[in-house]
Chains A and B, each alone.
Chain A
């Protein structure tokens, strides 16, 4: 792994934050949201701010921009110094003058960060309208120039396009163009690649690096992804609960973290090296899928759109006690496959055999007795439990459907909660009293309550912080060993797949492009797309958990 190692001791400061404290307005008793945060960013430097959700990294960036939500949060102490001026003391007009000229910001969701009803060229041009008095012709030339610099194709056409006509990557390029058109000293990037696929992420990261070098911009990069940190950071600041717990040059931090929290955070990052192969079990096949196909939009008489093949000729089988991963980027069809297997949507063609029974063509009513054999855990822990139901009621919904006695089911629900590592009195409580990770445990317990043969985990750990993610992955592994359950694990994250899967199936545009054991697919990928995916994984040659290079990489 090659880290950045430039020395910034001689470089001049661009931004210096000292003792920044942010509080909830009108509530001085609550713990501050930011507690005496200090950091400095020097010319040309990339400072990464890492932390889990709620650590205050986004609040830090919004404070610098002067964009804290009014009436909710307010800076109550400290300095944010840029060019010898304290940004916290500027009036609204002076602060507006700083934005885009001195400091710019790009955001996480390129889908929502651009105004949907204005042409993107106009949106970039607006920066010039606001801060300069260029004539129209020159203005357009500047906009087209920056659009070329961010490597957008066919800039004349894109200039006139609306955001919804562009891809996620293109929109993020527009955001970057908008941020850098006036060559500010500081670019704040708040999780700019989190919503993007890995291959797009890689392109955006290298674009930011390229422009940073060209214009000598300092970058404050906010992320939760240690892989990204390893790729791009000069200096890393680790945040936890509104404080900076540790900061160091990137290599020092990754090799020799000083604080327990940093160590713990790094140890939770799953490794890209596949898990040790497990002995092929003698167990019978519990789920077999053959020639599965899902075509959308083929029905409408008036529909002029080409039907989309969301899944095409997908075949695989899972034996008892094993984990099969389906890996792919957004739009690859991996979730379509999961939903077809669950019969939440109806497959267009193909066979799904569960417990020896073909279920692809059963009617909803015929299907119900077979539902218990295959259960699902969804991505979003906040929406997968009915907020109006107690945990207990959610847990016994399935057992009651298959005729279990209510008292017996409730008793078993308490046992299940213990099994997934929650207190058994949780049966009487409501989902909102639990954290995301705990809710995901409840969702797993609800699925397990049906004693299924197969558990489908559809991006089940993707919404969780790394440390919680590691715990939930451990739980799944443990349950598999205890109950011999088979797991179909849908994920976009190669690291997670490497950690938990025995076999991996790579999907692209609805097709299976590669299928093999985790070791084969990850260490010796055959298909070009699989190779591209692995190469795009940030920090892939670093073993974060052991603070050293990955063996054999």
Chain B
């Protein structure tokens, strides 16, 4: 459309890599999401200060109690304070989510760059990635945890590995389309070496989509962690995670649904805000969408 300015003309470039539209307006939704997420992260970080009780302290006399002044959300089957457990539970979940996102993005970026630029490596890598993607991620994670034990690290690894092929595919597709750009060909004509072109011209193109993908991975990792715990294949049951709290609450679900409700709510709010922020980041960073809607 002749009347529309070029999308790039409205973008202001920072850091030479990540673009934010100059007059970026963020809607109410993302603002709320950001606030909620900040609150959740803060409450997890400061859980030791905020929690009214020791999340592990049992009290046989106070089992499955309703909300009271001492126990704001009531207690679980072992008489532990639900609120303290829910606050503390966020620590592990967030740690695993962020860790899985960073590790899978970094590994996926490196493999994807190699795959996008070297034809021979590409054929082999993509077959491997296709196969890895063919294994349903929950089952793969279950098997990995079953074999490596219920430590935080093995759970994080089990969640990270199935995410890597998706990142590789993304990076590869960005590199494949970017290497057709005339400015990349111009760089070749100017005598720039392959590693230099790969790192300086092609890699920055992957950053914006990777940030978006990274947030989605973070959300899905937190979700997967909860599912693994829920199925009994997650972090060892002594550690309070949202998933573990819910797994233990399953039995008493019909008499005391709040054992699932509160951790479920925190978990859902947390994932929801991360996903919303991911969508916002995508809308802001994806020039393809911009062009279509601009």
Contacts and interface: CB of A to CB of B under 8 A. Distances in A.
B183 A364 contact: no
Contact of B1 (A72, A344, A433): A72
B201 interface: yes
A54 interface: yes
Nearest to B196: A401
A382 B186 contact: no
A402 B192 CA distance: 9
A448 to B, nearest CB: 12
Interface stretch (A134-142, A302-310, A385-393): A385-393
B68 interface: no
Interface string B1-26: 11110101101010011010000000
A170 B187 CA distance: 38
Pick the most buried of A59, A387, A388, A446: most chain B CB atoms within 10 A of its CB. Answer: A388
Interface in B196-215: 201, 204
A55 B189 contact: no
B123 interface: no
A33 B204 contact: no
Contact of B191 (A33, A53, A371, A384): A371
Interface residues of B, number: 27
A450 interface: yes
B191 A378 contact: no
Contact of A56 (B2, B185, B187, B191): B2
Contacts of B201: 386
Contacts of A69: 1
A443 interface: yes
Interface string A391-434: 00010011001100000000000000000000000000011110
Contact of A388 (B1, B13, B182, B186): B13
A430 B13 contact: yes
Nearest to B190: A398
A73 B3 contact: yes
A54 B189 CA distance: 33
Interface in B77-104: none
Contacts of B13: 387-388, 430, 432
Contact of A384 (B2, B19, B182): B182
Contacts of B11: 432
A33 B8 contact: no
Contacts of A446: 186, 190
A344 B16 CA distance: 26
Given A72-B4, A73-B3, A371 B190 contact: yes
Interface of A: 24, 33, 53-59, 69, 72-73, 342, 344, 364, 368-369, 371-372, 374-376, 378-380, 382-389, 394, 397-398, 401-402, 430-433, 443, 446, 450
6 contacts: A54-B2, A376-B186, A397-B192, A401-B192, A431-B8, A432-B13
Interface of B: 1-4, 6, 8-9, 11, 13, 16-17, 19, 181-183, 185-194, 201, 204
Given A371-B191, A374-B189, 4 more contacts: A72-B3, A380-B182, A384-B186, A401-B193
Nearest first, the 9 closest Cβ-Cβ pairs linking A and B are A398-B190, A371-B191, A432-B8, A378-B182, A384-B182, A401-B191, A33-B3, A386-B183, A368-B191
